[in-house]
Chain A
Amino acid sequence: MPDAAPFLQVDGVHKRFARVHAVNAITLGVQPGEIVALLGPNGAGKSTLLRMLVGITRPDEGRISWQGPVDARGHLLPTASGYLPEDRGLYQDVPLADVVAYFGRLRGMSRGDAERATAAWLERLDLGARARDKLGALSKGNQQKVQFAAAVLHRPAFAILDEPFSGLDPLNQELFLALVRELRDAGTTILFSAHQMQLVERLADRLFVMAHGRELLQGTVTGIRERWGGGDRLVLEVDGAPDLAPVAAHPAAARVERDADGHVAITLAPGHLVGDLLGTCAHHLAIRSVRTERASLHDVYVATVSAARPPEAA
């Protein structure tokens, strides 16, 4: 995929609001057929970037280009794009099937196609029996499902999903994982933002992490783990309340923690192996069991974003 022309190319994009530099020199490419996760803490600039991609706002500087069909202003045509915004909103006083079909028609579907696709999506989302219910009667999670259907009803070539898992219970999160993968398998390229790292890790081909409007890192999940280095953990079940200072002083130990159950978790420093530590641990601790854990995306994310410094005020 790296050699293919990107479906979306963002080059040096900036967006400023009054005193806030919301998006600062962002460069990002999304290849056709990829699922890319846009990550970052609240206020990182993710939604601002996504709104520029959709064409709701314009970049102050930089360029956004698409491989797909665009209008005179260079925005991807609504027929080729799908958008699930961060700010959820639907017509509360209208039957949900009507709303979904209306959105499909606005994105270029014929009335018949929109109605057929709506019925199929609502069945898939376990909402078929409630097609004539007004949206206001649905739970927040079900409204989120309707919103998702409205965003991708027309099988867009490129879908932008701003926090698609928000408000969903674990079962529906699993359903959404499956639906997004189905979309990708059917040819839709997907860029999404989320805060649920365990879901991102399972879904995304690549990650783009930003904070304070700037890029922190990007790459595949595996690549980021390797590049970031370390982070793997050695978890020991020990007897008594040993002194952990000698272990913490070892150069291979980046962080040593002890939980209420008596487990000692040692996070490895970059470039070190579990074996480097085992001898020291065996010497100072009464070990009952040993296991190792790969660094989770959550760990990588927290460590990376925590280390990011806000830009100095202009």
Chain B
Amino acid sequence: MTRWAQVRMVAQWEFGRFVKWKQQFIGLAVMVAVAGLGQGFLALKARSTPDAVRVVVVGAGRLGFPLPAVAEVRWDTLAAVDAAGARVLVRDDSAAGALLVRDGSTSELVIRRRGAWTQPLEGALAAARQQRAFAALPITPADRERLAGGFTVTLTTVTASGAQVSRGARMVALAILAFGLTVLFTGFATLFTGITGEKQQRITEQMIAMVSPQTWMDGKILGLAGAATVGAAIFFGGGSLVLRAVPLFGDGEPFALPAAASDVPLLLLVLLVTALGVLMWFSFMAAVAATIDDPNSSSRPILLFVPMLPMGIAFSLLPKADSVLAQVLSVVPLTSMGMLPARLLTTHVPWWEVVASVALLAGTAWLFRRLAGTIFATGMLLYGKEPSLAEVVRWAREG
């Protein structure tokens, strides 16, 4: 049997152990159900909106224009009260508010408590006044239409090749990146469990009698990365399903991620960088896990959070993707997974930068997996003791 056949077998086994389809789909069903309930509640709330509130108007004739329609507001101009009487109606909760009109441009709104209708009311009155003034101008209907016209801005971004990056492509690329990060941060716990748990259950000795430590580690990294990818895919797939399906109940527009065919090379590059980044960080975490004897007493699981630092730095530079620092970080393997896609989407990226970034990322992933295999091969029988950093460095040099 070839080494890679064994790697595939170990990877399939680990994948099967950690992908519990039943639990995954139960989780998905719960997510859909919770989202459905939430949307249902919102729809119910929208449909069960209480009757419009009563707002008493004193001096409506001084406005000089008709009272505009305002959501949730029912004007009462027939109350036949003065300002003091209107204040009493509000104080006694007989009316939600009282609009005391002073002249065509000023008024006082008396209320006991703010409501969702208060702010729109002011805007509606202002708009009604402007419309009345606009209608009174001595201009033709054509001029009136021209003056009322808006201004359209379509946003496009140009990549290194000069092609345009559409909004859809940007959304897809960011979704790929977000997916990769979800795989990373949800998969680390599984990776730790998968490696340290096996050592705790004393399975490693049998395994290493059958496959080499490097084969075992390669299979672990691939299988557990695959399991984390499935978990994230179900999460993202479920999320997309919810975003597509739920608006239909609320008369909204279904969610969609459109991407033009011309964006495919860019998206494939982002996918490649994300996949390499996931493999690199999984290999790094596998190396860390290989040094842990007992995860319950070890302080090393805190290293789970290490990737957050370079990722955080990369994302903090998103608004300055053109800077020299951003360019450097897009080549440095620890940050390139986040920085290179950000630069690809927002600025001109020379071809050599892309090549250097991908090559260094792939090389570092390979080095980390070798390191993980070497540490595991040396430390797997160290029960009750964790190797020091100096020992790990020595093993890495000797391996």
Contact = CB atoms under 8 A, between A and B. Distances in A.
Interface in B159-217: 198, 201-211
A15 B211 CA distance: 22
Contacts of A89: 198, 201-206
Contact of A78 (B202, B203, B210): B210
Contact of A106 (B17, B202, B211): B211
- Secondary structure class of chain A's binding surface, majority of residues: loop
A79 interface: yes
Contacts of A105: 9
Interface in A48-65: 51, 54-57
Given A56-B381, A78-B210, A91-B17, A106 B205 contact: no
Interface string B1-30: 100001001100100010000000000000
Interface size class of A (residues with CB under 8 A): 20 to 34
Contact of B381 (A57, A91, A106): A57
Contacts of A85: 202, 205-206, 209
Given A56-B208, A56-B381, A88 B17 contact: no
Interface in B132-148: none
A94 B211 contact: no
Contacts of B208: 55-56
A90 B204 CA distance: 9
Of B17, B202, B207, B210, most A-chain CB atoms within 10 Å: B210
Interface string A21-60: 0000000000000000000000000000001001111000
- Secondary structure class of chain B's binding surface, majority of residues: helix
B8 to A, nearest CB: 11
A87 B205 contact: yes
Contact of B17 (A93, A103, A108, A147): A93
17 contacts: A54-B209, A56-B205, A56-B208, A57-B381, A78-B210, A83-B209, A85-B202, A85-B209, A89-B205, A91-B17, A91-B201, A102-B9, A105-B9, A106-B9, A106-B10, A108-B1, A147-B206
Interface of A: 51, 54-57, 78-79, 81, 83, 85, 87-94, 102-103, 105-108, 147, 150-151
Given A85-B202, A106-B211, 17 more contacts: A51-B205, A54-B209, A78-B210, A83-B206, A83-B209, A87-B205, A89-B198, A89-B202, A89-B204, A89-B205, A89-B206, A103-B206, A105-B9, A106-B9, A106-B210, A108-B1, A151-B206
